[in-house]
Chains A and B, each alone.
Chain A
Amino acid sequence: MSRRVGSEVHLGLAPSRVTRWAILIVVAAVFAIPLLSLLVFSFSAGLGGGYTLDHWTGLFDPENARPYRTLFQAIGNSFLLAVVTVAIVLVLLLPTMLLVHMSFPRLRRVLEFICIIPITVPAIVLVVGLAPVYSIVVQVLGGSIWTLAFAYGILVLPYAYRAIQANLDGVPVVTLSEAARSLGASWPVVLWRVLLPNLRRGVLAAAFITVAVVLGEFTIASLLNRRNLQTALLQISTSDGYVAAILSLLSLAFAFVLLLIIGRLGSVGNRSTP
C-alpha cells in the first residue's frame, strides 16, 4: 500500500513560501515608508492640509528657472563630475587592470589591495588630506568643479574594480589575445575588437556604479566647499523642502533604473545555450 508523501521534501534548505513572502513583504513595507513619506510630502500643500501638484510642476516651469538656477547648476555639476569620473575609470583603471592581468599577474594582489584601501580610508578621513592636495590642484588646473573627479575616482575604485574584475575572471583574456595575435592582429586591434567587446558587461557595470556613487557623494564636496547635487539639496532643504524631496526621489529612481540595467546586463550574458 502506498501513501503520498507530499509535494515538497523539507530538508531545511529553503524557507516555505509563506515564511519567505512574510519576511520579504514586512521588510519591503517598512523600507517603503520613508520613501512613501517623501513622495506624499512632495504633494502636500502645506500646513493647511490637502494635496497639490504645484511643487512638481513648479520645478519644471521655465518661469521658476531663476530661483532654481543654482540648483540646476549643481545638478549639472554632478553630471559633469559623473562623466569625468567614468572617464578616469575607463582611461586609467581599465587599461591598468588589463595590463596587470596580462603582463604582470603577480601584481594583481597589489592592485586589488590598492583598490580596497578606499574602504578602510573613508571619505571623511581622506578629505582631511585632500584639502592641501587640492589647494595645489586649484593653482595648477583652476578652481572648476570637474577637478573633484580625481578624488571621486579614488572613491569608486573598490566598486569599479570589483565590477570589471568579475568580468575579467570569466573571460580567457590571455588566450584570446594570443589567438588574435597568432592570426595577425596588432595590439590596438586586439584591444578594440577582441577584448573590449567581451568586457562590455563589466565596464558598463563599473560605469553605472560610478555614476550612482558620484551622484550621491556629499562628504568631499561639502568639506572642500564645492557645489554638487547633494550639497545643493542640503542647502535648498532649508528654504524649499518640497524641491529637496522631489529631487531626492528623482535621483533615487534614476539610480535604481541604472542598477536595474546592470542587473539585466549580467543575466543577458548568462543565458548561453550549451
Chain B
Amino acid sequence: MSTPLAIAPATVELDAVVKQFGAHRALDGISLQLEPGEFVALLGPSGCGKTTALRALAGLEAVDGGSIRIDGNDVSGLPTNKRDIGMVFQAYSLFPHLTVLENVEFGLRMRKVAAAERRVRAQEALDLVGLGERGERFAHQLSGGQQQRVALARALVTRPRVLLLDEPLSALDAKVRVQLREQIRRIQTELGITTLFVTHDQEEALAVADRVAVMREGRIEQIGTPEELYVTPATPFVADFVGLSNRVPGTLTAGTITAAGTTFALLGAPQPDGPVLAYVRPEDVVLATTETATGLAATVVASSFLGSLRRTSVRLDDGTLLSVQHEVALQPAPGDVVRIAFRGTPVSATPVG
C-alpha cells in the first residue's frame, strides 16, 4: 500500500580528520567508522568537538586534514547539498513561512520530484512521526517536541544515506526528551538508516545507541557498546563522564589497587605504582544497617529517594564521602552508623599528585 522509506544504508568513515579554528584544534585527527544501519552516539562535554565532527561530515565545516568517506566515496570536496544526507538541528530549523507539509516536501522539491508524489511521500513521512494531521500548521503553532518530529520527517523523506542529529533533544523538556529519543530509535531501527547522534547527555547516549564514542578535546577517548563503556571504561575520564562514580583514595601496586580496606583490579592501561583515586560505581558499594554486618564503619550524611532506588551519601572514618545506591527498603537516616562493603569489580584509577 504505502511505499516504504526504504534506504540503502551507507558506511561512513572519518579518517584522521583535523579541524582548526585559529589557534584552537577542534578536531585532532579523529577517526570513526559507522557500519551500515548502525546508530552511533558522539558523547562528550561542550567544546569536545562532537558537533564539529558532525558538521564536518555534513559539509557545513571545511576540514583542514584527513578524509571523510560515505559508502567508500571521498566526499571532502562535495558541498553539503550534494552529499545526500539528512540532518536534524538542535532548534529553529523549520522554515517559518511554510506549512509543516511544505517544510517536509522541501527536500523533494529540491530533487525535482513531481508535486503529486511529493505530497504523498511527505504525508507518509509525517504519519511516520505521528503528525499526520498537522500538515497545514505552521512551525510557531507547534510545541518544541512536535517541531523536532517535523524536522525528523523532513530529513528522512528524501531517503538519505546517512542521518545526522545535532543534539536534537537538548532544547526540550525532560519528559518529551525521553519519549522522543525512543521514537527516534524506533524509526531508525525500522528504516535501518546509518545514524550519527551528537549529545552531551550520557544517559541519552547509553539509552539509544548501538555504540557510543566518548570524545574529549577533539579525540575519541573510547568507543564501544553502552555496556562496555559503563562496565569497562578505558580511561578515568570515561569512567567519570559515563554514569556516576565515587573517587576513593588508595594505593596502586602491581596492577592491584588497595583502597578503603578492599582490593580492586585495575581497569585499562597499566600505570606506575603509587597513590591513586579509584572510580567506584555507587551500585558496587554495599550498605548494611544491621549491627551484625561487617565492613567499614560510616556515618550517613543524607539519603535521597529516587523512586525505584535510594542513593545515600556516607562519610567514612577517614573523611572520604561515598555515594551508595541500594534498594528502597533500607531507609538510613542522617547520623546513623552503617557498614560499607565493596563488590570488588575492576575499577579505573587516576594517579594523585
Contacts and interface: CB of A to CB of B under 8 A. Distances in A.
B77 A3 contact: yes
B196 interface: no
Interface residues of B, number: 15
B76 A7 contact: no
A8 interface: yes
A11 interface: yes
Nearest to B61: A9
Interface size on A, as a range, is 10 to 19
A53 interface: no
A2 B64 CA distance: 10
A8 B61 CA distance: 8
A244 B202 CA distance: 71
Interface string B68-105: 00000010110110000000000000000000000000
A209 B27 CA distance: 48
A2 B15 CA distance: 9
A3 B63 CA distance: 9
Given A2-B74, A3-B74, A11 B80 contact: yes
A1 to B, nearest CB: 6
B62 A4 contact: yes
B145 interface: no
Contacts of B61: 9
A2 B59 contact: no
A5 interface: yes
B62 A8 contact: yes
Contacts of A9: 59-62, 79-80
Contact of B63 (A1, A5, A8): A5
A5 B64 CA distance: 8
A6 interface: yes
19 contacts: A1-B67, A2-B66, A2-B67, A2-B76, A3-B74, A3-B76, A3-B77, A4-B64, A4-B76, A5-B62, A5-B63, A5-B76, A7-B62, A9-B59, A9-B60, A9-B79, A9-B80, A11-B60, A11-B80
- Shortest 9 CB-CB distances between A and B: which pairs? A2-B67, A5-B62, A3-B77, A3-B76, A2-B76, A9-B62, A6-B62, A2-B66, A9-B60
Given A6-B62, A9-B79, 8 more contacts: A1-B74, A2-B65, A4-B62, A5-B62, A5-B63, A5-B77, A9-B59, A9-B80
